[in-house]
Amino acid sequence: MARQATKFDPRTLEIKTKSIERTLVPLVSQITTLVNHREKYYGKIKSEKTLKAIMKVGFCVQAAVERFVTVGESIADEHVEIQPEMYDACQEARSAGAAIASLSSKTISDFNNGSVVDRNFLVRATRQLLSSVTRVLLLADRVLVKQIICAEDKVVYTLSRLESTNNFTEFVKLFTQFGGEMVDLAHKTGDRQQDLKGEKRRAQMQMGRSILEKYTMLLLTSSKTTLRHPECDSARQVRNCVFRQIRSALQLIALCVCEGVYPYDPARYCTSVRPEEEPFDIGLQLTADIAIKQFLDTLEMVRLTGNVGLGVQERIFGALNALCEMTQDFTDSAYTHHHHREQIIDFLGEIRTQLSNILQPEMGENGPIRPDDVDSLVVRISKVCKDLRKQLQLVALDQATDVFRSDEDEVITSSIKACSVSGDVDGVEQFIERFRDHANHMEEVCRLLHHISLTESLHVRTGHSERNLRALAPLTILSGRTFCLHPSSRIARENLQVFCETWSLAINELARLAKEVDVACHGRQVAEKQSYMSLPKPGKHGSTAKPVLKATVLDTEEQQKIAKLGLEMKLLTSEVDAEAEKWDEYAENDIVKRAKSMSSMAYNMYLFTRGDGPLKTTHDLFTQAEFFAEEANKMYRNVREFCYEVPGSAEKNELLQTLERIPTHCQQLQVLVKSPTVGKLATFNKVDSVIQETKNLMNEIAKLVTSCFVCATKFEIEFRSGAISSSRLLLSDGTDYDTHRSGDSSPWRRTPSVRRSRSQPRVTDQSS
């Protein structure tokens, strides 16, 4: 039954990807040459040279088909689920290729006689060949789609385990596994996104992947908060909503990759869809611009037919009512200027008045009205509709301009973070209330931008941005409430700050969308949106001091490659942060401080791959990488001193093995940073290499912190906070702290078992 459900119908084959289309182009070209030659020279005398050329093309087609089906059969051997269909399609393609070769290898007398039967056979064989080859490609494509679905299934399985765990150590282990699976899924879906032909599905895939990326970081902090404060209802609500958003994004990706290729289960990852998320496929959602198009199409039908019977009247009034309903978001908005609201209402009233001249009952019953009258009235109504569209665009863009000019989101989120750091609970509560009003305003602006989006890509992206803001705003408010309930909790404070940063990123993306909508509405060409993340901002490259005269624009594949590296590095920063959290139960020490500092630097470099964050140019990126290498060298010295306190054991050997790899990576990163570059390609290669090497070094740091923690807990080694030196360390946020000199007494000491047993309850203390 499953096989029948997924079997391709030759009459409804639809190509969804660019790669399949590109594969078919040479074959279609050769077959077209054969068929056109038959049509052009039918019944005419042909030379032997021409016949040899035709014969050669025919045999080339057969040879190419043979190589092609051999690959198809090898794919079928490895994937049992497609074997029957693949073998059948390959056999059909092989037969069609042989028939084309046979029909092309006629003698001179056969060709000059020009048999009509042969020509019909050739056309039939070419159709069979194209159909069977397309089926082979679609079956092979189904294998790729299944790999993406399997990767999603792995993510969901680990996600379920993360949701059910109540142990912090187990959570850290599962989250590390989850991060690796997310990176694998990001690679697979990134390639698929680039390959999709449809603009709508490509935009939906981009939004789904972007949501997964954002909520992965929110999953870490919200889960840590819930584990630390299991009795807090608001923290639990936040975590549950984060899990739901991740599953919804996975369902959206499944919708994009399965269409026309693989059976789609609408409840595979997200069992239910909330009313505010209807329809799940946002490409089907009605907007004001779409309502205007549908209304104008209905009027055009009346103009062409000249008939305004009852059925046509119902259709026209239905389209007009839908348009009026869509414009209510503009007229009901408290931020719409009064004269703009009046103009929208006047335009709708004029449309109704003009429409009544066409849809008069007596004229509708007597039959068609005069074509000249219909033409003039339809042209008049169309002009009013276009004026209405311009007015709606003006209202939406004016509101967007006003809200982004005020920069209120930055003021509120910065104030919330500042109050949380200072422990000002009253200040947090005050700004959370301001944030509630601000969030409602931003959702409204995004909704209006969605109404005036002119392209499928903008329609999808603005719609999902509105849904994202609608989901993120209450989570940020709940995070603020959690902090107010637990003002002394560092994890609750960090969770609130991460949600504020995520909100700021969402507003920045909305600002870029507003600019693209503005460009599209004013008739200028909209730049093609990048595949996954925004471009790193151009700037100085290497050590050269030449001014940049022209912005460097990377190709889509280059952008995607850097974005993948950035995502991998961000997941590593999450892993390092999670490992550093374990140390907080014992004491703050140089290893923890340096690990957090390096995590912050790596996160800034990740933001650079998105076009966000404090690093604005490639020069900033390389400078940050240089500081990162210096910090890793200092970490190496701290851990080397720590090793002297660790007794000989397998754990110490593992720690030393990891430690010895740090200087090599530091040296490689420093060499890459200092290498000069000239030109776009060299700059991209340097950025790519620096981010790759930073990721490798961050991976070793994560292992190093884990090994240090294992040794510290097993051998009861504790940091003495009184040992301080005068050497200073510059952190990524501009602050500094002191470390000890090698000549000073060691800040590490063995702790007696009796003391460890007394301090043990602090590990499970939930009050902080």
**pLDDT tens digits, one per residue of 59-88:** 888 888 888 888 888 888 888 888 898 999
317: in domain: yes
Q: Report how far residue 138's alpha carbon sits from residue 126's, in angstroms, rounded to the nearest whole number.
A: 18
Number of domains composing the chain: 3
CATH of residue 388: 1.20.120
Judged by average pLDDT, the poorest of 422-426, 608-612, 747-751 is 747-751
Q: Is pLDDT at 117 greater than 50 in this prediction?
A: no
β-strands 727-730, 717-719: how paired?
unpaired
642 versus 109: the higher-pLDDT residue is 642
Output the pLDDT for position 711.
86
Mean pLDDT of 714-740: 45
Contact 199, 456 (CB under 8 A): yes
CATH of residue 617: 1.20.120.230
Q: Report how far residue 407's alpha carbon sits from residue 389's, in angstroms, rounded to the nearest whole number.
A: 28
The residue from 341, 363, 398 where one domain ends is: 398
Q: If you write DSSP's letter for every residue of 43-70 in order, what string do you get?
A: TS---HHHHHHHHHHHHHHHHHHHHHHH
Q: How confident is the model at residue 277 (pLDDT cuts 50, 70, 90)?
A: low
421: in domain: no
Structure pTM? 0.68
481: in domain: no
Domain membership of residue 349 as a residue range = 288-398
Helix boundaries (H) for 80-167: 83-104, 108-113, 116-164
pLDDT tens-digit profile of 535-549?
333 333 333 333 333
Output the pLDDT for position 589.
74
Going by C-alpha positions, the residue among 701, 703, 710 that lies closest to residue 632 is 701
376: in domain: yes
Q: Is pLDDT at 507 greater than 80 in this prediction?
A: yes
The amino acid occupying position 247 is R
Q: How confident is the model at residue 558 (pLDDT cuts 50, 70, 90)?
A: low
The residue from 122, 144, 166 where one domain ends is: 144
197: in domain: no
The residue from 115, 144, 173 where one domain ends is: 144
Contact 543, 676 (CB under 8 A): yes
Q: Is pLDDT at 640 greater than 50 in this prediction?
A: yes
Q: What tokens does 76 get?
A: 């079928």
Between the CA of residue 80 and those of 10, 73, 94, 263, 348, what are the distances in Å?
A: 22, 11, 21, 17, 60
741: in domain: yes
pLDDT tens-digit profile of 38-63?
555 555 545 677 777 777 877 888 88
35: in domain: yes
Output the pLDDT for position 447.
94
Q: Report how far residue 509's alpha carbon sits from residue 518's, in angstroms, rounded to the nearest whole number.
A: 14
Backbone φ/ψ region at 89: left (φ over 0), alpha (ψ -120 to 50), beta:
alpha
Output the pLDDT for position 723.
36
524: in domain: no
Q: Is pLDDT at 735 greater than 60 in this prediction?
A: no
Q: Is pLDDT at 293 greater than 60 in this prediction?
A: yes
The amino acid occupying position 426 is D
Mean pLDDT of 352-363: 70
Q: What are phi and psi of 404, to 5 degrees?
A: -80, -25
Output the pLDDT for position 276.
64
Mean pLDDT of 436-446: 93
Strand locations in 275-328, DSSP E?
none
Q: Which residue matches tokens 């279609």? A: 28
Q: How confident is the model at residue 341 (pLDDT cuts 50, 70, 90)?
A: very high
